[in-house]
Amino acid sequence: MVVQKNKFSGWGNYPVSQGAMLESEGFYKIQQHVSTAEQLTARGNGKSYGDSALGTCLLSSLRLNKILNFDKNDGCITCESGVLLSQILERIVNEGYFLPVVPGTQWITIGGAIASDVHGKNHIAQGSFSKHVTEIKLLLACGNTIVCSKTIEPDLFWATVGGMGLTGFILEATFLLSKIQTAYLQTENIFCQNLSQIFRVLEEKNTYEYKVTWLDTLNPKNNSYRGIVSFARHLLQDELSEALKQNPFLQKHQKKYSVPFFLPSWFLNWRLIKFFNLIKWDLQLRVKNKVTVSYPDFFFPLDSILHWNRIYGRNGFLQYQFVLPNPFAEEGTQKVLDELFTSNDKCLLAVIKQFGECDEHSLLSFPLKGFTVSLDFKRTVSLFALLNKLDEIVLKYGGRIYLAKDARMSLTTMEKGYAKLKEFQNVVKKFNPTKKFISAQAERIGYIK
Ligand SMILES: Cc1cc2nc3c(=O)[nH]c(=O)nc-3n(C[C@H](O)[C@H](O)[C@H](O)COP(=O)(O)OP(=O)(O)OC[C@H]3O[C@@H](n4cnc5c(N)ncnc54)[C@H](O)[C@@H]3O)c2cc1C
């Protein structure tokens, strides 16, 4: 067992908390911790942005890092909860499989993917991660293990997916993979001059499974914001060039750069990004459309810059990610952007994705059928007042905030946004009655009773 005493934070480097982290190999040691500790916070790879994986005593899954079974015939895989998505991809792509849902980084654990019920750029086609999970092995606060699925202990299953580690510690999970013919994707960009065009392009049906929009919030023209909608689909073997056909599953390793230390917080300022955005638009216009790229370049471009979060400086940054349901998502997004326009706090990176149908049984999973917008801000004193105003707009349009990115949401905002919170609280009361599994976020918001 390794006990690290240190300062910990999420990816946003805010907040920072002092604590201990227990890192143990094997089930029995983890079980011992759970039996003896008063309070624990489950932690995967710490890639959630805010305080959902923070607490005074963290229980790390990172040494539960074994892929236990991979059936190449039906694409069913069972692994321990600390296995990283990168590890799974390395194992399965050569065999013609891919993860059905991937977020914007491959450096998250399976436990983290389930606890946040992560979504990708293909929510319309594949839903969120939980859709593909067939079984979860969970260590409960009482020290017993339990297996849950959509048919066995379904209440526990639906509270665990998206449940932010508050129902128990995920030990193992089994889920189904998607078939692919190559490790390459074809991408296409569509340049949109305003928000209406972006929403229209995102809603149009086409042959692409993945879609995502980069929105330039820093160069508005007559109150309208332009953006680039990027589409992608997995290429079939027949579609590859003769050179790539030689090794259709070649896993190209991304070139890695690193930000070696925290940059001074004045470095990343909105005027600089405003300028970069203009260049990005022009450069993209010149790039040939419909290009073939290897999968890490499309799904995980930021993973090539190690510690990129340090660019924001020691004060850290916040990502404000909300979802607005149809049919008012566009109107609500415009209102959010109008509020941003008048603020001194500028959004340095903005992304829009579309969500499709969601499982009616989900209790705390984030997606709603509609659109989700992520806005990155440097942490400043005034930012929190702006985000409170944005909360009001999001709630007015029937939306909610993503817990995996949150570091400041209030209980009222959470109660209004998550209609099934009471049902979630009842499951937590049953399986985690003394709040042994807790997090700084759950305590700050006060959403488990
Ligand atoms: C660059 C970047 C891009 C991202 N893009 C996306 C995206 O496109 N879509 C998306 O949905 N998310 C995205 N995220 C967020 C990220 O996918 C989630 O926050 C994910 O949960 C992080 O996993 P982790 O292993 O780092 O978990 P942590 O951050 O360590 O923990 C996250 C939550 O899971 C719980 N948890 C972790 N392990 C366990 C376990 N074994 N048992 C029980 N609970 C556990 C923790 O208590 C905590 O509540 C992105 C994050 C980054 C940094």
- Among candidates 8, 46, 52, 15, which has minimal Cα distance to 403? 52
pLDDT of residue 254: 81
CA of 216 to the centre of ligand 1 (A): 26
Instruction: Return the SS3 of 341.
Output: helix
- Among candidates 78, 90, 11, 77, which has minimal Cα distance to 43? 11
pLDDT of residue 25: 83
- Token duo for residue 274: 């405003």
Instruction: Classify domain 67-178 at the CATH class level.
Output: alpha beta
How do residues 8-63 score in pLDDT, each as one tens digit? 999 999 999 999 999 888 888 999 999 999 999 999 999 999 999 999 999 999 99
* Cβ–Cβ < 8 Å for 336, 394: yes
* Cβ–Cβ < 8 Å for 93, 70: no
How do residues 98-118 score in pLDDT, each as one tens digit? 999 999 999 999 999 999 999
How do residues 149-180 score in pLDDT, each as one tens digit? 999 999 999 999 999 999 999 999 999 999 99
Is 80 exceeded by the pLDDT of residue 2?
Answer: no
Is 80 exceeded by the pLDDT of residue 3?
Answer: no
Domain ranges in the chain?
67-178, 184-416
Local confidence band at 1 (pLDDT 50, 70, 90 cut-offs): low
Instruction: Classify domain 184-416 at the CATH class level.
Output: alpha beta
Mention every residue, 6+ apart, whose C-beta is less than 8 A from residue 366. 116, 117, 119, 128, 162, 321, 323, 372, 400, 402, 403, 404
Local confidence band at 205 (pLDDT 50, 70, 90 cut-offs): confident
What span, in angstroms and rounded, lies between the C-alpha atoms of 88 and 76? 12
How do residues 120-142 score in pLDDT, each as one tens digit? 999 999 999 999 999 999 999 99
> Percentage of the chain surpassing pLDDT 70?
100
Q: How wide is the angle at C-alpha 196 spanned by C-alphas 194 and 197, nearest 5°? A: 70
The pLDDT mean for the chain works out to 95
pLDDT of residue 20: 93
The model's pTM is: 0.97
How do residues 63-88 score in pLDDT, each as one tens digit? 999 999 999 999 999 999 999 999 99
Residue whose CA is at the smallest distance from ligand 1 atom 8: 103
pLDDT of residue 32: 92
> Among 118, 140, 145, 352, which is best to mutate for testing ligand 1, by the most ligand atoms less than 8 A from CB?
118
| Helices and strands (H, E) in the chain, number of each type | 14, 21
> Among 14, 22, 47, which is best to mutate for testing ligand 1, by the most ligand atoms less than 8 A from CB?
47
How do residues 258-308 score in pLDDT, each as one tens digit? 999 999 988 888 999 999 999 999 998 888 788 999 999 999 999 999 999
What span, in angstroms and rounded, lies between the C-alpha atoms of 437 and 428? 9
CA of 350 to the centre of ligand 1 (A): 19
CA of 165 to the centre of ligand 1 (A): 10
Residue 221 pairs with which residues in a beta bridge? Answer: 224
Burial track 150-160 (b if 16+ CB lie within 10 A, e otherwise): beebebbbbbb
Average pLDDT value for residue range 341-369: 96
Mention every residue, 6+ apart, whose C-beta is less than 8 A from residue 39. 55, 56, 57, 435, 436, 437, 438
Residue 3 pairs with which residues in a beta bridge? Answer: 22
Local confidence band at 255 (pLDDT 50, 70, 90 cut-offs): confident
